[in-house]
A and B are shown apart, each in its own frame.
Chain A
Amino acid sequence: MIVILDYDVGNLASVLQSFKKAGMDAVVSKDPGTIQAADALILPGVGAFAPAMDALRASGLIPYLKEHVDKKKPLLGICLGMQLLFESSDEHGLHEGLGLLPGKITHFDISLNIPHMGWNGLKFDNESHPLLKYIEEGDYVYFVHSYYAVEADDTLVASAEYEVNVPAIVAKNNVYGMQFHPEKSGPVGSRILKAFKELIP
């Protein structure tokens, strides 16, 4: 069973549906017992870093999330959920993240439009990574974000070019992050989730 963490961050219907479509038995839950029994956890998120981190803390679910990771079970953060996995973010002041991945989140300092919004192609940094098994370099996925991960080179699986190198998929042991929205990325997104499914013991 895949559990999508519900900590009051908006509509999770499309996230839930995307995991189901990719062949996974998934639920949205904030129940500690359900979370402890999960084979894999999904950390979604939209909006700003600090309110999301506050909501996650207030939910009381962080200890269960860390326990899950300690048990070597897969955790996947999506969009802002991925950003929360890093050490910190400077979105409206400096805020501490979960610290499960090395690196930090910072604002785009570029001449292109912000947010980085739309379909952008993936460049493979770690070609042999199992998450890339069913997609090809150049495949488009859907991004919407104004902040991005830096100092994350060691965990890079795939990136997107947007004047700067934007980490798109990161992975460290059993902790995974996707900056784009796989649930909004059509069949390519679905193939990435199918590859994620195969990483679940």
Chain B
Amino acid sequence: MIAKRIIPCLDVRDGRVVKGRKFKDILDVEDPAVLAKRYALEGADELVFYDITASSERRAISLSFVEEVARELDIPFSVGGGVRSVEDFRTILRKGADKVSVNSAAVHDPELIREASRRFGNQCVVLSIDAKKENGGYVVYTEGGRNATALDAVEWAKEGVRLGAGEIVINSIDADGMKEGYDIDLLRRLKKAVNVPIIASGGAGAIEHFVEAAKVADADGMLAASVFHFGEIPIEALKKVLSENDIPIRLKVK
């Protein structure tokens, strides 16, 4: 049986990890490859890097971290942030990333999903969706949660999968940063609607939140940033609890 995945997410700006305050004993704490290896040793099953470099010129330089991570890391990883074209997919995959995630650009141009999956395979096309609860449903937001769209999140996920997305990362805008748990209702709706892996994002604050997402909502992976960055939840302890709850999990990580 496929194991549920624990996925730390790292923000990268100008080629350096931001918010990476946890590993004080490492001199160069902001090196993406160093942090990535550390997370792999702790038991991460996969890593996600979001490049938040503002300008596209600087992003091109910033992305050189991808090659170093590909060389050093022995688990899969995806790269997102500012992906706008098939050429962006090509660049990132050539540098050695396993998957590329796309968010706002796919809303503005859904054909991007079709084109990228046709060229590179749907296994490397991740559709990331920012969703906010409104009137009993979920509305898709773009540009980091700034702009509301007319799209329903579940319908957009279905359309994304139809176009070729091989995985959905669903970020709950309401739950994000609250540390009160993933949006289980949203996850369940998505699990019912599509047959690709659903990765929960936004809201993790305690170990039981991961158990809930995996067990109650049957999420295929759980993504989190701050609880891992600041050492609030050690991955090893988290995976032990998940396993004790009969959730298939990869325990042997050393």
Contact A121–B254 (Cβ < 8 Å): no
B73 partner, pick from A14, A113, A136, beta carbons under 8 A:
A14
In the complex, whether B70 has a CB less than 8 A from a CB of chain A is yes
Contact A11–B70 (Cβ < 8 Å): yes
Contacts of A90 in B (CB 8 A): none
In the complex, what distance in Å separates the CA atom of A139 from the CA atom of B250? 8
Q: How many residues of B contact A (CB 8 A)?
A: 33
Contact A142–B70 (Cβ < 8 Å): no
Q: How far is the CB of B39 from chain A (nearest CB, A)?
A: 11
In the complex, whether B208 has a CB less than 8 A from a CB of chain A is no
Contact B67–A13 (Cβ < 8 Å): yes
Question: A151-177 vs B: 1/0 string, CB under 8 Å?
Answer: 000000000011000000000000000
Chain B interface, DSSP helix/strand/loop, else mixed: loop
Q: How far is the CB of A168 from chain B (nearest CB, A)?
A: 13
In the complex, whether B27 has a CB less than 8 A from a CB of chain A is no
CB-nearest residue of chain A to B248: A121
Contact A14–B74 (Cβ < 8 Å): yes
Q: How far is the CB of B218 from chain A (nearest CB, A)?
A: 12
In the complex, what distance in Å separates the CA atom of A72 from the CA atom of B123? 35
In the complex, whether B38 has a CB less than 8 A from a CB of chain A is no
Known A139-B252, A184-B75; contact A14-B70, beta-carbon cutoff 8 A = yes
Question: A79-111 vs B: 1/0 string, CB under 8 Å?
Answer: 000000000000000000000000000000000
Query: Footprint of B on A, CB under 8 Å?
Result: 10-11, 13-14, 17-18, 21, 46-48, 113, 115-121, 136, 139-140, 142, 144, 146, 161-162, 181, 183-190
Query: Footprint of A on B, CB under 8 Å?
Result: 1-3, 5, 40, 45, 67, 70-76, 93-96, 98, 121-123, 166-167, 195-197, 220, 248, 250, 252-254
